[in-house]
Amino acid sequence: MKPRVQITLTPLQHNNLRLVAIHFGANDNVKNHVMAFDDVRYSKTYSTFYTVYHENVINELFDHFRDKGWYVDYSGFKSNTSKSNKKIEFKDNYKLPSLNMEKLKELEGFKKWLQQKRFSQNTVHTYVEVTGLFLRYLESKDIASLSTRSIEQFNYDFIFKTKKSVSYQNQCISGIKHYFGFKGLTTEGIEIERPKKDKKLPTVLSKGEVRAILDVTTNLKHRTLLSLVYSAGLRIGEALKLRPNDIDTARGLIKVKSAKGRKDRYTLLAPSLVPLLESYIAHYRPNSFLFEGRSEEAYTQVSARQVFKKALSMAEITKYATLHTLRHSFATHLLESGTDIRYIQELLGHNSPKTTMIYTHVSSTNLSEIKNPFENL
């Protein structure tokens, strides 16, 4: 079995500046991926790659390397626990016991089984990861058999007590149930109640806020990427998978291939965006992907998120927003301009109109038509 790549993140202090040192074995592919992370530099003094420390950088680095399925040791940034404490700290996944070679091979087989069922890459990675944690949990508790009870114990100790999100809890349950199927075990009688997700309304940026974000983004690639995500209502993963020939300027359309649910669809190409897009293509000459990082690989989601975060800060927008907020804003602005919700559903690639209907709750047009009773007091 090919050895798993390990990345180690450690604190580094230089001239009163907090840094994150990034250590890894000699490997050109790993080196290129490390360098693809924004603001990474190499220190000859310390003989290591590093980046500046900030509140979210460890999570961003973890996501950056997780995309490759690599092991990330960031224990140097965790508070020290008492050595006399014998309890397993489930907030730190890596303090669970390691799996033996037999179990690792089994997990690899589970991964291939999921891939053959054509699950998305992200779903495969998540299911394998949570199943691995489940098996390590069973090892820590000396539980030999797979059962409803063992899942319930894992659910309580690892998910509920550590305050994992509802979404993550559902992913864990789904991953473990698929593992049962892989093992040929029946799931009859295994009724783990799934918690209902909170019905939260999406954050929406005003047209003025979107304009401000684009105005402060002067880098040609970054401005084109953010403009395309908003103007076409794309998920960031869809935008980064686009290829140059997916852009149909003659018809004013963008073809989104193998989107969520493995469906192709067409969405809008704004006419006013075409000059910017053509200028970007002429300058960067993308080959494999429309937005490329180094070595013609697709631009990473981590880098894209950093671009958006920087633009938010420069535009002095304080409301919480992510790249997906641009997609929400696209849909809401279409609804406010009078576009039929069935067309919006098609442009977004939603299976059910119920999903698209959420934008009726955040549309200011509909709300503004309601006469406030305060006016009649």
Q: Which position has the token pair 């442009």?
A: 347
Phi, psi torsion values for 73, nearest 5 degrees: -100, 110
Q: How far apart are the first and last CA of the chain?
A: 76
235 tagged catalytic: yes
Catalytic-labelled residue, pool 241, 327, 328, 333: 327
327 tagged catalytic: yes
266 tagged catalytic: no
Phi, psi torsion values for 165, nearest 5 degrees: -70, 160
Catalytic-labelled residue, pool 178, 235, 241, 333: 235
CA separation for the pair 96, 77 (Å, rounded): 18
> b/e for 10-26, b at 16 or more Cβ within 10 A?
bebeeeeeebbbbebee
The single-letter DSSP state of residue 189 is T
Rg (CA), the chain: 23
178 tagged catalytic: no
Residue 287's SS3 state is: coil
260 tagged catalytic: yes
Catalytic-labelled residue, pool 177, 260, 309, 310: 260
Sheet hosting strand 17-23, strand order edge to edge: 41-43, 48-52, 17-23, 6-14, 71-73
Residue closest to 333 by CA, chosen among 222, 250, 192, 211: 211
324 tagged catalytic: yes
**Residues annotated as catalytic (active site), given as ranges:** 235, 260, 324, 327, 350, 359
